[in-house]
Structure 1
Amino acid sequence: MSTVLRHPGVKRLFALNVAARVPTAGAGVLIVVHAHALTGSYAAAGLVAAAAALAVAVAAPLLGGIVDRRGQTAVLVASGLVAGGTYVALGSLPHSAPLGAIAALAAVAGAAQPPTGACLRTLWPDVLDGDREAVRSAFALEAAALELTYISGPAGFLLLAAATSTGAAMAVLGVVLAVGTVAFAAEPASRAWRPDASVGAGGAARGSALQAPGVLTIAAVTTLIGVVMGGIEVAVTAAGSAHGTGATSALLAIWGVGSLVGGIAAARLGGARGARELLVLLVMLGATHMALVAGGTSAVALGALLLAAGASIAPVFATTMTLTGELARPGTTTEAFSWNITALASGVALGSALAGAVVEAAGTGPAFVAMGAAGVAAAGLAAARAGTLQVPAPAPAAAVA
């Protein structure tokens, strides 16, 4: 990990990227809170949040594909300004605003969500001079740092909303998103990145990132990981409700801390190695989340189990990111990373709905078991398609005459 951070400009590039993604991490919950404040209805707020999430899932690969063809700067600046401005407009809506207008603005903001994460992952091989070990460590470090955004983003903007108003918090979120994205786009490494000149030339077609069998496998596996993530959030919320809102927040934060610790440990160990490590991590992900059923009604026991379960999350994401970058077809890397965003969002939506139904019908214990089973299913899928996850060995360097 220290080797990665010693590369020139890496700390600044990494910090700016993470800062630009804090508003994105906070947007989901703030949209729900703000829409409820405007409409007085959680059902309406849910529809608004769904519109934003669906727009993100549909548009992410499209924006990633444009980056692969045109470069990062224009896409980042345009999407950052559009998304940021739309969030400001959303925050400025009066209480009399119709639901259609609220949902439409949320959808525009979601569709324009800047591909800052995909762009950073595309940059790592160039920034780290093609050092595969350093790139793997960088992915692990990024996965750990993302937990900080998931903790600080929602908490920070909700606190701002409580101190001012949901509209003011939404406007601030938009400004921070726009400024952070433009600042990242202004970094020399991002501005200097160019699409693969060999793709599209001489009759070589770019095609879709999903034409790479390994990328398709990772997207399918990531969908199941999303089922685990979305479902566990619902099940933990239901389990913590008996102990109060503070208990739920604490339990989810402990889960995030476990992932943060796991990601840091993975980065120190040099990051992921490949398909075999992914399979092991997915089994751990499924088993440890299935074990949450043993927490019963004790918040303390559930917290301890969540800390252990979280430890596999960041390493799993680090491994899927590493494999995506190494398996993507030339000229489609940014789009490939963006498909993972779509897959994760789709899985989270499915897992949330499934867990809600199971909790309602049978309680939190069966919901934990079902979500853990989704993780085991992800491991089974990865094992069945292990052949598509084999990374070709790097070509030997040409001998010097």
Structure 2
Amino acid sequence: MNRRLLALSVTARLPHGMFSVAVLVHVAHVTGSYAVAGACTAVLGVGQAVGGPLAGRLVDRHGQTLVLAISTGGCALGLVMLALAGRGAPTGRLLVGSVLVGLCAPPVGPCLRALVPDLVRTPSARRRAYALDAAITEITWVAGPVVTFAVAGRYGTGSALVAAAVVLTAAVAGFASCAASRRWRPAPVVTARPSALGPVDLRVLVLVLVGVGVVFGATEVAVTAMSASLGAGGAAGPLLGLWGLGSLCGGVATARSATGGAQTGRGLALLLAALAAGHAAPAAAGGHWLALGVLITVAGSMIAPVLGTAYGMVDRIAPTGSRTEAFAWSATATAVGSAVGAALAGVLVEEAGAAAGFLLAAAGAALAAVLAGTRLRLGARTDGPGTAARAELPAGPTRTTPSVPHAPHGPQDPGRSPRRDVR
């Protein structure tokens, strides 16, 4: 994997880890209403869920450069609109700005993953590359809120939004200028370009990732609630940081392994079962901080391996000419699941305590495991009607393949809602 490309993609995804928190904090500051702030955060999430697959489809038709440029401009405009909104700003303006940020969020993650088959040759090396990407992306979701609060505390809440816009614009420009992204062209298809959700296995995998998203949303609520119930609400941040650290370690270990993750539905089901067990365990931690820290780190260690495996499967079964859109649907699935998990966990935590949130997370992973083990076949590649498999098509003059012969092999390779909305 090209190190500069990976580093720029991670930097470009750092603002994604800032969006929800920065919008929430700024809108609450200028309106004095958490109801309005929550509404803006919600429409931002809806915009991301709708805009991700749409942007992915446009990339698959027109290439990465133009789509990344237009989407970045729209997203930066929305961030600046919000930053310039002062006290008494109309709610409608705040909502429009929030929708614009979510709808136009540039699909850097899906674009990078769509490049992996051209950068890395063997299937096992590709799986390791996806695992490394899932692991390193954790940095953005740990650092995003920290950067937001640091900038907002020193320079004001609007400054955090401006900082996100500046970093986003510069990093995406750098990513789009890399030869691998600049020269990438949509894969040729024989007839009409198929729907990304055409293959049954891909639809099953999207549902599996909704279950994984439930884990994310429920765990964030559960950790926050448990910290507050023990009189140390500030501990939620470090605990979630340990969660992300566990995922980073798990992803690096998977990237260094021989296989790079599971290859079958049953293999993914085993990883999901481990994810379920790991997230059920913190429910028994009670008030023991050391035990909670250890257990949440262990629970996180299965996140990147699960996502890396899922990305490898998306690459394997996505229809020819719809690879980027397929990766965007995987991100949308986790975002939807995260929203559902957070909402359900909020109700459960109110009624039964923080432990119920962890059990909900475990249930989401367990259901995903059952679905993967029983419905995910991963048979022969199933492209849309009249569409040849990618391996059967000649390279053609429309695609330039960068010469990067090796896969990433560990943490020495430098360059992920509200967490993980756009993995």
Q: TM-score range by the shorter chain?
A: over 0.9
Question: Match for 1:32: what amino acid?
Answer: L
1:322 aligned onto 2:312: yes
Deviation, structure 1 residue 280 = 1.0
1:245 to 229, 233, 241: 233
Give the corresponding residue for 1:305: 295
Give the corresponding residue for 1:137: 128
Q: Point out 4+ residue stretches in structure 1 off by more than 3 angstroms.
A: 390-396
Distance 1:232 1:265 in 2: 23
1:272 to 261, 266, 271: 261
Distance 1:289 1:58 in 2: 29
1:225 aligned onto 2:225: no
Question: Match for 2:208: what amino acid?
Answer: V
Output aligned runs, 1:80-95, within 5 Å.
80-95=72-87
2:332 to 329, 339, 342: 342
Question: Match for 1:274: what amino acid?
Answer: Q
Give the corresponding residue for 2:403: none
Distance 1:344 1:273 in 2: 19
Distance 2:221 2:380 in 1: 36
Give the corresponding residue for 1:71: 63
Distance 2:289 2:80 in 1: 38
Question: Match for 1:13: what amino acid?
Answer: L
Is the 1:38–1:94 Cα contact (8 Å) retained in structure 2?
Answer: yes
Output aligned runs, 1:164-203, within 5 Å.
164-197=155-188, 199=189, 201=190
Give the corresponding residue for 2:361: 371
Is the 1:214–1:328 Cα contact (8 Å) retained in structure 2?
Answer: no
Is the 1:88–1:172 Cα contact (8 Å) retained in structure 2?
Answer: no
1:97 aligned onto 2:89: yes
Cα deviations by residue, 1:140-164 (Å, 9 ceiling, x for unpaired): 1101101111111111121110111
Question: Match for 1:80: what amino acid?
Answer: T
| Residue identity (%) | 41
Is the 2:320–2:390 Cα contact (8 Å) retained in structure 1?
Answer: no
Output aligned runs, 1:8-87, within 5 Å.
10-87=2-79
In structure 2, the CA distance between the partners of 1:390 and 1:290, relative to structure 1 (3 Å rule), is farther
Structure-1-length-normalised TM-score: 0.93
2:251 to 257, 263, 267: 263
Deviation, structure 1 residue 25 = 1.1
Is the 1:89–1:171 Cα contact (8 Å) retained in structure 2?
Answer: no
Question: Match for 2:252: what amino acid?
Answer: I
Deviation, structure 1 residue 133 = 2.1
SS of residue paired to 1:243: coil
Give the corresponding residue for 1:285: 275
Cα deviations by residue, 1:51-98 (Å, 9 ceiling, x for unpaired): 000010011111100100111000001111211122122111111101
In structure 2, the CA distance between the partners of 1:287 and 1:391, relative to structure 1 (3 Å rule), is farther
Is the 2:21–2:148 Cα contact (8 Å) retained in structure 1?
Answer: no
Deviation, structure 1 residue 366 = 2.0
In structure 2, the CA distance between the partners of 1:139 and 1:149, relative to structure 1 (3 Å rule), is same
Is the 1:55–1:107 Cα contact (8 Å) retained in structure 2?
Answer: yes
Is the 2:194–2:320 Cα contact (8 Å) retained in structure 1?
Answer: no
Distance 1:219 1:134 in 2: 23
Give the corresponding residue for 2:194: 207
Deviation, structure 1 residue 394 = 10
Cα deviations by residue, 1:328-355 (Å, 9 ceiling, x for unpaired): 0100100000001111111011000000
Is the 2:44–2:102 Cα contact (8 Å) retained in structure 1?
Answer: yes
Deviation, structure 1 residue 390 = 3.6
Give the corresponding residue for 2:351: 361
Distance 2:226 2:17 in 1: 23
SS of residue paired to 1:210: coil
Deviation, structure 1 residue 38 = 1.2
Cα deviations by residue, 1:340-388 (Å, 9 ceiling, x for unpaired): 111111101100000000000111112211220111000001112132x
1:331 aligned onto 2:318: no
Give the corresponding residue for 1:235: 222
Give the corresponding residue for 1:399: none
Question: Match for 2:261: what amino acid?
Answer: A
Cα deviations by residue, 1:160-205 (Å, 9 ceiling, x for unpaired): 10111000111111111111111111111001101112x1x4xx12
Which segment is superposed worse, 311-320 or 131-140?
Answer: 131-140
Distance 2:31 2:390 in 1: 56
Cα deviations by residue, 1:231-283 (Å, 9 ceiling, x for unpaired): 11001100011232321111111111111110110001041231232111100
Structure-2-length-normalised TM-score: 0.88
